[in-house]
Chains A and B, each alone.
Chain A
């Protein structure tokens, strides 16, 4: 029984501390999905803080033995009865519970240990997670599960080119388990050919359309690596499929492999590889390596460690440099820019893949779309992009986000790729502050929900899993929650001016900066920044109000002027009449 895991349901009289504040006399309740901390505010009111186990990245318990403790701190009796549990959250916050009684502290630690472990993918299937128990507490205006369909995106495509169709080949996930059921493919290729191509691609992830550029009609295609192997196998259908996606035949397309040639060689010896040039003669190959998986995860762990380390023992900048995180941000942006440049300037198509086509591939294709497509810079457009390019494209959110920056990775499958995507988007937002409809609140919210959420959007590994566990019926979509006026309002960028052109950011090292409002938000006082933000809103609001006021006054004035003229002409008439009568 799960309830057996709760060794102690309630701990009283604890001190709750985070980086900026401390709340004595707090009460901690342990429930099935979260701990609820009742904080005593300075005005005596209680504030409830819910911390979900899915949000807990790890914890440390410091229980010095009694005598040892005494010898260390003989002079402070108030401290002698304090046992501290430090909780590291996936939202990057750190909080401490100072518990007066050792026995309670031990029991709490045991409970937490078991309850956190229970949320792991290896021990608990997804239906045990809170989103399946979350009672929706708001009115849904637009159901997020149905808001972004393939059809709606396809209708946009149709306006640009009629060479594409939607295929139902993957009904019931028959061909590819990690794709969604309906996919956009070239009209000229039959379902049979697609099936053969799927057999030739890792995990059956055959090439599909993900973006069609309006002006050049060139497109971004993504897939998994071809199963070339050491015997250099080929698949005519796959070649035909890939070639049919090249719109302008006179120009060669680019195959962008997100691995370096050495890794490709290793992959080839294991049956994978990259499209050989002799078989794909219409395409040129480009290798731009992007780190992934455990390398990226380690980088993230080091990076966050550097960000929150305030001991000043090591130099911050050298720690930042060692973490390599900003390097990965720069690299991801650069590759996305190359794709965008090829699509928009060179006007030819790009096919992107790495190994499985669900990690770095998605990072590149989604970022390139933010650069290329103005719609992706609106709130709904960005949500649609995430739904399309990350969720439906089968980024394994559950696996990748089991641990964030503090947890020990048990199986090594965790990787902060989505965080990297959000960071890159934030860099763009930083450079093009007026071209995005949203502000960084949306990005921070997405970061938090990707790791731990009440909603079902990010808890599945792919569409098939969502269907299997009936996620659409049993959980609430994050988009349903977001797309309500009171929430949307907080995401709006007051300076937004739709910018239809392609964004060309600077990817120079000097231009890549630390996303303070995410990584340091629990460690720096955010109130001054919040105040500045409020001021932004006030200034913008004032301008808008005055503008409409002046407009109103002008109309009123012209109306009055008209009346005056009328009245005068009447008067002149009367005068005239009187003159004539006399």
Chain B
């Protein structure tokens, strides 16, 4: 029942509204109410004829807690403070107060991310207050949206990684000999819901475009959205204002230009994603569809995707199905069937596959439209692109797809998701959700083809509603420009980038044919599944108790930590070997050994972590008597010096580096006074100038070995985090890389450099381990050293990342 977590340190920053606290509230969980934690497992009781039922009432009575209201959240905390339910006001879809019962006054809160909480509040007046307040707290204008208030955790910066549509078109090879970029819409005067730059056939003229835009609903004229490597393209637009007989020469010409961009086909498809009857009905309103008599070489097709109102009703029915209390199998299947939700998903996927087939198999251009060309068209074009182009199946590519098809071409996120309380409820519709679910269905058919996982899709859906980030605010690019979201809010994509490991599909196999080719699935009704982990994600008792995808992520993380650690161990072993190598046979000639010494010295100067220097020097002394006669005099003398130095060094340093007890004693002990002091101090100076901290001392090695757990706690065994938060199967657990135990997201610190890692990257560590590792004596120097080096590294990396996209943009601008 965990809605949105903030790191605990941030909690004090949330202002709790005055008097906005209701105590002794009971939270009734639809499925968990008859649940009790026994021994190791959550226990569902299967039959009410058993006397055990008596316990439940007792348990239920104890499950009382307190509701707190903040300006942004409703927070319910159970008496032990173990579980917190956070409900963001902008996610609340529906608050309902029911008639008072003997237990108190029930308050239902439903959210757009499918949480249905049922509170029972002792006093009716409190309940009424709460009900009224919750309704008032819903943002009633853009300015009050959560993204303008949200203060992200420290690691998230307010940087918007710029997305430029041009970059994506360049990737597709546009402009080229058939397509050009047109800036006619730079002031949004051709169409205010299109991006400033549009891509059109090379043969078009501005007049043609303006003419066509006048003939299309809301000025949404046909423009390029996807170009396949075989030359076939997807273009999108809105319905023509054809009525019963109107025609427009410019529009007809524009379509002929589009047809001519594809040399391989003499005809093209126009796919109207609406059912025929809807299209015909629109003719009465002066809109409609293209008359095949006026447009030559056109194949016209209808796909029966229903309109936003039917989809809204369907979702409503689906949610009612989800909220059924203890349905029988047949009631449940019947309700699911009656909602038609999966049928609608199928009709969308069918249309997308039809388009993809036309492009890939028939090599024909496809023009897609619906009514206004921003709902069904967006769904179909983006899904078809996803099927056609493997790039969109990566995390970055998927982002580009959404930026292009949904954000740039003006899907009305604010209206469809009902971001503000003032928005028309008749405009709301789960269009984006259907797209997300269609992608999920595809990812179920092809588990290895997508770089992202289910968690990513769910997060994307939630954030399109939550307005925590500015990306999905407003109805088109123009709205977002007017609201200055880029300056005032955080970017969702930045958040994704920072947490990218959580969103990666461990099964993704880039080299697999499914990940690298066009997907043309055969979809039957039987193929589609009900998305349990989306719609029932807060009903943990319904979900599989042991979650494979989380287990996989756990394995992948473990592999990551072991791999990094293994590289360090390999390096240490090499070092110790060379230390030990008193065996002359391993060094072919002194000359070469001295050159390797210098080589290592240079590398070590560049590299953060290298202690080869002193070892390189240490062990050359033995080869003196066996010097090759072929060596030149100078070389000889050099090696002599080097070796004499190193022999001294050995005698002095070794006890210090390797004695178990004390570093100091080895140094200042018996030997330095015996005339060797100048030499050793010289060496020492030389040493410390390189890296005093990275000598493989016994303490150092022990520290390194202790900092990485070889075995991790099994993913399933602990049922509570150390903070006593109960784990449920949907929740992702994180392992501390040091102790290997499982923790919840809040109990893991991410800013720790573990000595046992080769790569100096930040590792997730639990709080206890973080403390103990910070307090260990030799750690301080190490972390200081690593930090200075690696922050520089990270800075370079981010700079590189940003500059890469900027270079591409620059390139485009130049063109």
Residue numbers of A with Cβ under 8 A of B are: 286, 307, 310, 312, 315-318, 320-321, 324, 326-327, 329-330, 334, 337-338, 341-342, 345-346, 430-435, 495, 497, 499, 501-514, 516, 520, 523-525, 528-529, 531-532, 535-536, 539-540, 542-543, 546-547, 549-551, 553-554, 556-557, 560-561, 563-565, 567-569, 571-572, 575-576, 579
Contact = CB atoms under 8 A, between A and B. Distances in A.
A31 to B, nearest CB: 35
A430 B542 CA distance: 12
B714 A497 contact: yes
A565 B658 contact: yes
Contacts of A337: 44, 46
Given A560-B573, A572-B655, A567 B582 contact: yes
B330 interface: yes
Contacts of B38: 345
Contacts, number: 236
Interface in B539-589: 539, 541-548, 551-552, 555-556, 558-559, 562-563, 565-566, 569-570, 572-573, 576-577, 579-580, 582
Nearest to B509: A535
B545 A505 contact: yes
B783 to A, nearest CB: 22
Contacts of A504: 41-44
B526 interface: yes
A567 B618 CA distance: 13
B326 interface: yes
A557 B659 contact: no
B716 interface: yes
Interface residues of B, number: 94
Interface in B37-83: 38-47, 49-50, 52
Given A433-B551, A561-B701, A524 B527 contact: yes
B238 to A, nearest CB: 30
A371 to B, nearest CB: 11
Interface stretch (B188-196, B411-419, B446-454, B769-777): B446-454
Given A307-B526, A509-B329, A524-B527, A568 B569 contact: no
B527 to A, nearest CB: 7
Contacts of B659: 565, 568
Contact of A338 (B47, B543, B671): B47
B635 interface: no
A532 B448 contact: yes
Nearest to B41: A504
A305 to B, nearest CB: 12
Given A434-B551, A511-B542, A547-B562, A535 B448 contact: yes
A499 B329 contact: no
* Most chain B Cβ neighbours within 10 Å, of A503, A523, A535, A571: A535
Contact of A433 (B329, B546, B573): B546
Contacts of A542: 559
Interface in B437-473: 445-449
A561 B514 contact: no
Given A341-B46, A568-B654, A536 B552 contact: yes
Contact of A321 (B333, B562, B671): B333
A433 B44 contact: no
A62 B234 CA distance: 44
B174 interface: no
B512 interface: yes
Given A321-B334, A539-B506, A568 B655 contact: yes
A320 B333 contact: yes
B129 interface: no
B46 A310 contact: no
A373 to B, nearest CB: 15
A543 B328 contact: no
A572 B657 CA distance: 13
* 5 tightest Cβ-Cβ pairs between the two chains A and B: A316-B525, A317-B337, A509-B332, A532-B447, A321-B333
B670 A546 contact: no
B529 interface: yes
26 contacts: A307-B526, A317-B336, A317-B337, A317-B342, A317-B525, A321-B330, A324-B330, A327-B328, A341-B46, A341-B47, A431-B544, A495-B548, A501-B41, A504-B43, A507-B44, A508-B31, A516-B526, A524-B526, A528-B445, A528-B447, A529-B447, A535-B448, A547-B710, A564-B654, A565-B660, A571-B654
Interface string B18-32: 000000000000010
A546 B556 CA distance: 11
B651 A510 contact: no
Contact of A579 (B337, B565, B580, B670): B670
* Most chain B Cβ neighbours within 10 Å, of A431, A509, A514: A509
Contacts of B569: 550, 553-554, 557
B546 A432 contact: yes
B507 interface: yes
B705 interface: yes
B12 interface: no
Nearest to B322: A510
Nearest to B708: A550
B559 A579 contact: no
A499 B448 contact: no
Contacts of B507: 532, 535-536, 539
Contact of B650 (A341, A495, A531, A571): A571
Given A327-B329, A508-B326, A540-B555, A554 B705 contact: yes
Given A520-B526, A564-B576, A565-B658, A326 B552 contact: no
Nearest to A318: B337
Nearest to A546: B562
Given A321-B334, A434-B546, A571-B651, A509 B525 contact: no
Nearest to A345: B52
Nearest to B329: A327
B448 A563 contact: no
A553 B570 contact: yes
Contacts of B555: 539-540, 543
* Most chain B Cβ neighbours within 10 Å, of A329, A497, A512: A497
B526 A560 contact: no
Given A337-B46, A504-B43, A546-B559, 4 more contacts: A286-B49, A315-B343, A495-B551, A524-B526
A199 B326 CA distance: 43
* Most chain B Cβ neighbours within 10 Å, of A324, A346, A502, A560: A560
Nearest to A330: B329
Nearest to B558: A543
B447 A531 contact: yes
B632 interface: no
Contact of A556 (B514, B556, B573): B573
Given A434-B716, A575-B671, A547 B711 contact: yes
Contacts of A535: 447-448, 506-507, 509
A509 B331 contact: yes
Contacts of A523: 524, 526
